[in-house]
Each structure stands twice: as C-alpha cells, then as structure tokens.
Structure 1
Amino acid sequence: MRVCPSCGTENPERAKFCLECAAPLHDASPRSGEERKVVTILFCDLVGFTAASDEADPEDVRARIRPYHQRLRSEIEGYGGTVEKFIGDAVMAVFGAPAAHEDDPERAVRAGLRILDTIADLNEEDPGLELSVRIGIATGEVVVALDSRPEQGEGIVTGDVVNVAARLQSAAPVGAVVVGEATRAAARDVFDWEALDAVAVKGKSEPVSLWRVLAARARFGTDMRTHETHLVGRDVEVSLVRSLFERSVRDTSVQLVTIVGEPGLGKTRLVWELETFIDDYPDLVAWRQGRCLPYGDGIVFWALGEIV
C-alpha cells in the first residue's frame, strides 16, 4: 500500500495519484522518523473470554473470536481509526494517527458506542457466543512512528495515554464505554455523560476522572456547538461572509462561499459566527444546515438530505 503524504489515505501500489485527494504519489517517498501528536486511544476487551477458553479447543476459540475481530476492525476503520493490534481478545485502536481529524475524540467515542451495538448484533446472530465487552478511551500526547506498518503488527504510538486507556478499560463496567477527562472535554457537547468514581492509575499521583458515555446527544452533522471564547485573527474572513450574506439579501441572488483549511483552523467556528450574525438580523431568515459525514458509505448527498 502507498500512503498519501497529503491526507494519509492508503492507495494501491499501482496508483499514481491519491484516490481520495488526487495528490501525486509517484514522487512521494515513505515518511520516516517520529513526531508528537495528540491522539485518542481506544481499548476494547472481551469480558470472561479467557476463562471461558481455558479448556476449549484452539480451533473453537478461533472460530468464536474471528467474527468479533472482523466486525471490530470494520467499525473502527469506518470511523477513521486505525487498529494497531489485537492482543488475544483485546483490541487497541488509534484515532489521530497516522491521519489526524479535527474530531478524533468524538470519532473514537462513536466507534465505542457502535462496538456495543455490534456485540449485541453478534450475540443475536449466534446466541452461543455470549460476548460482552468493556471499552476505555483516553486522549493525550504520544510519539508517532511515521513509517510504522500496523497491518504487519508494528506499533504506531508510544505514550502514557496508551497505559491510561488500558486502565480505564479495566475499570469500566461491563457493556459500557468510559472515557478520561480530556476525551470528555473534547466531546462534551455531543454526548450525554454519567460521572463515575475516579480510579487510581499506576504511575499517576492523583486518581483519574472517569466518565461513562450514555448516548449521542444529536445526529452527527446537525448540531452546531456554541463557543464561549472570542474569535481571534479572523476579522477579515468574518467581514467577508457577513458582507456576502448582506449582498445576497440586497440583490436577492445566490452567493457561494467555500471555506478550505486544515483541521482545527476554525472553519466550523467561522460558520457559527455567521449563524450568530444572522440570528441578530432584523428580518426573519430561514437557516438550513447540512454536513456530509467524514466517514462511512453513501454520504455524497448527506448534506442535502439534512437540509431538505
């Protein structure tokens, strides 16, 4: 596989251009070295599987766990995560490396909730499986190996957050997704939460806060987060979108604005500033909002579907 140096998408060896962003691949050399990144780690472990497999035939154990591994990989990769490794009946996934997204903590939590649904589906398809899981998610800084090959069992990230995620998973209730404080802070407006007792983590002087994810608060793409801080350094852009709106009202004409930028530069915030401006507009304005999902299949017309 050839990894695009621009967006991180894996492409076939024969590809000359990235199938996702069309960046040229023929001159791209494999990245090497390391870099520091903030990522979100997901640990998922089957509960009671080791004891149940103690006296079972190895082929029976493999047949029982294979659909679990296949479905988990599919769900994790569907949300933009990377499965770093399977450790027996446990899985470790990384969101934010090698390719980063502005909503990696949210993606990880949504993947965790989806895994719970997947386990329920597997048990319904084959009641003899009797699978149950615990999931722990933590966000923090790591060192990323840029030239690692996870498909060949090579590790992607190294850092304390990996150990924290594993500890949170071991402290999670059966059938639940729990997260640390940093993950909750990054996705607090998107999910409903339940505070759990803090847990002691090896190597930490203070107990670590623990939050259980109850449910997603709204459909992905339809909620616009509020912002409590002032927007800095975007006066020109804010004035531009406001003036285009006023021109559209004055001339009764359609105006198209395209905002392009790297994750985290404030594209969503700029749209929110425009929405706030329109809310204070003296005339009544109908606001329609839609957004294509950044992952999954059948998403080409998702934004249009939300608008209409």
Structure 2
Amino acid sequence: MSDIAAWLARLGLDKYTEAFTANEVDFNALRHLSEEDLSALGLPLGPRRKVLAAIAALDTMPPGNSVSALVRAPSGGEAERRQLTVVFIDLVGSTELSQQLDPEEMRDVLRAYQSAVSTEIARYDGCVAKLMGDGVLAYFGWPRAHEDDAERAVRASLAAAAATANLTSPLGKSLAARIGIATGLVVVGDLIGEGSAQEEAVVGETPNHAARLQALAEPNSVVIADSTQRLVAGMFEMIDLGLQQLKGFAAPVPTWRIIGEADTEGRFDALHGVATPLVGRSEELELLLQRWQQARKGKGQAVMLSGEPGIGKSRLTAALEERLGTEPHARLRYFCSPYHVNSALYPVIKQLERAARLGTSDSASAKLDKLEALMLRSTPDITEEGPLLAALAMRRWR
C-alpha cells in the first residue's frame, strides 16, 4: 500500500486514496481492476478513465521495474534550479523492531507506515521522492511549485507524525517518527543510476540539512531549519532550540521545533500585517461606518467585501476596527483554510476554540469544562446546545 497514495496524487486523484486503502488495493491488485471495480470504489466516469489509462501504462513497464519509481513525477526536461523544501522522515526504533518481528510482520509495519506518511504528503501536494524502508524523502516545490510550499511541508509533517503515532506494531506498541525539514536552493531533475535504480537527483546542501535535523528530532516531533522558519513564522507555534552542531556542518546552525498550528487569528494577522497607511479608500470606509451606525440603532446590517487578492480588503477591515476602537463592540472572526476544505464547519469550530480559550495541551475533560463555561455566559440552560457544540468541537479533539 506504500505507493498507492502518491500514485493517485500524480493523477490528481488523491481524494480517492482512502477508498483504495480501505479496500486494500495495492499495486498487485491495481493491475486487475476493471471499470466495474472502480465504480464500486466510488470513482465517477472521468476518474475511472484516468485510472484505467494509468493502469494500462503500468502494463507496459519492463518486468522488475521499481514500482516506487512511479511515485516520482517526471521532470519532463533538463535539470532545474529551484528553491525546495525537503522533508526527511524516519521511523523510530525500526532496527530494534526488525529484530523482534518476523520479516513478513516487519514488511507489513513498513507498508502501513509508508502508506500513512505518503498519504499526508500527497494531501498537501508534496512529492514522495524516495521510499527507503524506514525512511521517506519528500519534496515540496518540485515538480509543482506553490507560494506556500514551506507551510505545506510543515503541515504535512505534523500530519505524518500524527498518522504514524496512530499505528501500532504487532507487539502492541505505538509507532513514532522523527522529521526534519530544510529549505534552500538546489538543482533537481538530473537522472542518475540505471534501470530500476534510476532516480532524479537533488544536488545541494538542503537534503543533507533535512536529514541531519531529522536525526536531531525527538520521537513524534518536527525540527526545521532557520531557512524554513523564516517562511512559516507566525503560522506555527515553535520553540527555538538555539544553535545546534550538525554532522558535516562547519558551524552550529539555528534550529527550531514545531509545536503545532498557531492560533488562526494570530496567523491571519501575521500574514496581513497592517504597516501601511490607508490611501484612497475613504469612501468605502465611510460606507462601513454608516452601516455601523445603523446597526447601533437596531437596524441589522451586513456588508460583503469581495475582490481580487491584494486589493486591500483586509486593510480596509483593519481600518474599520481602528475607528471603532473606543466604541463598545464584539468582534467575531471566522477563517477558512485551503488545508481544511474537507472539514465541515472548520471556521466555526476554530472560532469556538478561540472563544473558549482551548489549549493544545488541555485534556478532553478540561476542554469540555471551558466550552461549558463559555456557553453558560450566554444562557443558563445548555442541556440542548451543549451536546451539539461539544460534538462539533470533538471532531478536532479526537
């Protein structure tokens, strides 16, 4: 199952990974799937045609060709100079585990681990470059680049660590992963090796930096380089580990450990800092202030600001907030996220977490107590609303 997630991601069909995984479709079974089988898996006509065409391409591969090579998208040209965020993931204690398990049991453990990690990388549009038994190498920024590749890499790494922690070995112990991330300029795309050993190499300091940071990380933790930290500052909670001496590096390097996602409101402010004066928007601001005065008189108002990114919508709402600073009012902010498009009511859940001041280290019972206290501020009877809001918020606490 280790390569299915990345293979589907290459086809742009990663949302069907769960269906393939639930039905234990590996590459051996994949070659025998019919259109009826794909329909039973829930794939519409278009995706079924894509998968069937890709399966036909598999049949043209020479015997013995490495299936793992299919997880790498081809460069389609000469080597390129790119800024790349490299993620190196290692399964903790795999050597000791292999000494305690039958080889077939160990194979199943590695497959489950590789599948879980590859699924999360594909979900954030990363590229699984290499599967090395207990190690996984992934690129963000190649072959497809995004403006937020560093953020995607950190999010995928946190999800991969959580997915690994949810796995257990045949001995009943939870698995754990160490993860290192670095960002920098590389040359990527040169083919090295021959036959099934052929791969597209990345030349530069960045992959080695990520590997060294991985070795430094504690189990189930993510450690990032200073180059990555500068790109994701304000988006995640992190601890400065100070200067660390890494093998192969002449001087100690700044290092950070990621704790978790930053508060949505703080993240928004970090990305939309108000540092410039508002120019040429007095008419729009005056309209908003008029609507506010009408709302104060009991005439409910709603205003929608829409437009292309970068035209100053956030700056205009910040200016309104500045003008209302001395007037009593309550501000509610809801934030959508491109990383949670499949999470129903995600903005509402996050607003509840902020309003109730739920901490990441709070126990489930402590979070329920805080949520109950929040609701009691609005109504003395929460027998009906309480279970509904608790069930909604519990989706993220599980």
TM-score norm. by structure 1 comes to 0.70
Does 1:92 pair with 2:137? Answer: yes
The match for 2:315 is 273
Q: CA deviation at 1:197?
A: 5.0
- RMSD of aligned residue pairs (Cα, Å): 3.9
Q: CA deviation at 1:13?
A: 10
Contact 1:245 1:255 survives alignment (8 Å): no
Aligned counterpart in structure 1 of residue 160 of structure 2, from 82, 97, 115: 115
Contact 1:84 1:156 survives alignment (8 Å): no
SS in 2 for 1:163: helix
SS in 1 for 2:166: helix
The match for 1:134 is 178
Paired residue type of 1:141: L
Q: CA deviation at 1:170?
A: 1.0
Q: In the aligned structure 2, how far is the partner of 1:75 from the partner of 1:290?
A: 25
SS in 1 for 2:153: helix
The match for 2:204 is 159
1:129/1:259 CA distance change after superposition, 3 Å? same
Contact 2:265 2:333 survives alignment (8 Å): no
TM-score norm. by structure 2 comes to 0.56
Aligned counterpart in structure 2 of residue 259 of structure 1, from 304, 308, 318: 308
- Provide, for residues 241-275 of structure 1, a one-character-per-residue CA deviation record: whole Å limited to 9, x for no partner: 66434345558784542214xxxxxx3x9444223
Contact 2:158 2:222 survives alignment (8 Å): yes
Q: In the aligned structure 2, how far is the partner of 1:174 from the partner of 1:134?
A: 5
Matches within 5 A, 1:124-203: 128-145=172-189, 154-155=199-200, 157-203=202-248
SS in 2 for 1:131: coil
Q: In the aligned structure 1, how far is the partner of 2:324 from the partner of 2:261?
A: 34
1:211/1:179 CA distance change after superposition, 3 Å? same
Q: In the aligned structure 1, how far is the partner of 2:132 from the partner of 2:152?
A: 22
Where does structure 1 lack aligned partners over 5 or more consecutive residues?
A: 1-7, 16-29, 261-266
Q: CA deviation at 1:130?
A: 4.0
Aligned residues: 271
The match for 2:342 is 298
The match for 2:259 is 214
Contact 1:133 1:174 survives alignment (8 Å): yes
Contact 2:87 2:181 survives alignment (8 Å): yes
Q: In the aligned structure 1, how far is the partner of 2:224 from the partner of 2:288?
A: 45
Q: In the aligned structure 2, how far is the partner of 1:221 from the partner of 1:290?
A: 12
Q: CA deviation at 1:229?
A: 8.7
1:296/1:276 CA distance change after superposition, 3 Å? closer
SS in 2 for 1:274: helix
The match for 1:51 is 96
Q: Could you tell which deviates more after superposition, 290-299 or 185-194?
A: 290-299
Q: Could you tell which deviates more after superposition, 164-173 or 297-306?
A: 297-306
Q: CA deviation at 1:165?
A: 0.2
Q: In the aligned structure 2, how far is the partner of 1:281 from the partner of 1:146?
A: 57
Contact 2:340 2:346 survives alignment (8 Å): no
1:225/1:242 CA distance change after superposition, 3 Å? farther
- Provide, for residues 163-183 of structure 1, a one-character-per-residue CA deviation record: whole Å limited to 9, x for no partner: 100011012223321111122
Q: Could you tell which deviates more after superposition, 137-146 or 216-225?
A: 216-225
Name the structure where strand makes up a greater proportion of residues.
1
Does 1:246 pair with 2:286? Answer: yes
Paired residue type of 2:316: L
Contact 1:134 1:170 survives alignment (8 Å): yes
Q: In the aligned structure 2, how far is the partner of 1:244 from the partner of 1:176?
A: 47
Name the structure where helix makes up a greater proportion of residues.
2
Paired residue type of 1:119: T
1:186/1:94 CA distance change after superposition, 3 Å? same
Q: CA deviation at 1:36?
A: 2.6
Higher RCO structure, 1 or 2 (CA under 8 Å, sep 6+): 1
Q: Which protein has the larger Cα radius of gyration, Structure 1 or Structure 2? A: 2
Matches within 5 A, 1:5-44: 10=12, 31-44=76-89
Aligned counterpart in structure 1 of residue 150 of structure 2, from 105, 109, 123: 105
Q: CA deviation at 1:106?
A: 2.3
SS in 2 for 1:80: coil
Q: In the aligned structure 1, how far is the partner of 2:341 from the partner of 2:304?
A: 29
1:33/1:303 CA distance change after superposition, 3 Å? farther
Contact 2:190 2:200 survives alignment (8 Å): no
